[in-house]
Amino acid sequence: MSNYVITIARQYGSGGRTVGQMLAKELGIEFYDKDIIPMVSDLSGVNQELFGRVDEHNNAKPSLFRKPRVYDGTVLKPDDKDFTSDENLFALQAKFIEQLAAKESCIIIGRCSNYILRNQPNVLSVFVHAPEEYRIRQAMEKISGGEKEIQKFLVKDDERKKEFCKRYTGWDWQDATRYDLCLNSSKLGYQNCMDAILYRLKLNQ
């Protein structure tokens, strides 16, 4: 069987990352999240801290002096003056994700991987979401703060991810038509989310 990749976009507190880890264990394949950044840094020679500017959790805004460029598969050469621009740093990560998909089966969390791999065969894209009240309860187990503070955090986190996705892909992060599966973890539970993904994966093969 050829390689397959499951991309998982998720709202904070929905448990999408946990579902991804469960899937990786069940399938015996690699799980990639933020560990992609140091790997790309090593390969590109670009300081790892610079990649923090193009992380979906970062508040950084696009430069007023440079028109944002949606990723189209192009990566600049190291001697280009814009090699460490935000757009090219995203492109370096995207190219690495494409290489991962070509060589191995894996789970990839976030990083607009559903867009990056949209034209690749054997890719299953998933969006895991949940109502605000459920996400607040789940988030309170991981981060400190009262209900109102966590609610504000979740709103900001969603906005950051929306802006990140729109900036580098032109897509709406929460557009259900951009995913093969959209799963409400509060209704299904993590195990059923995983089972639904496994069932859909079988149909792909």
- Residues 85, 159: Cα–Cα separation, whole Å: 22
The type of residue at 120 is Q
Please, what are the averages of pLDDT over each run of 10 residues along the chain (205 residues)? Answer: 90 97 97 93 88 65 58 88 90 95 95 95 95 95 90 94 93 96 97 96 79
Q: Please state, in angstroms and rounded to a whole number, the distance separating the CA atoms of residues 30 and 1.
A: 16
Range of the domain at 108: 5-17+25-204
Length of the chain (residues): 205
Alpha helices in 104-184 (DSSP H): 113-116, 132-139, 147-169
Sheet holding 123-129, edge to edge: 30-32, 106-109, 5-10, 123-129, 181-184
Number of compact structural domains in the chain: 1
CATH number of the CATH domain containing 146? 3.40.50.300
User: Residue 106 has what pLDDT?
Assistant: 97
CA torsion 95-3-52-146 (nearest 10°) is: 150
Tokens 């995913």, residue?
179
Quick check: 32 and 107 in contact, CB under 8 A? yes
**Both structure tokens of 48:** 């790892």
| Residues in CB range of 80: below 8 A, 6 or more apart | 88
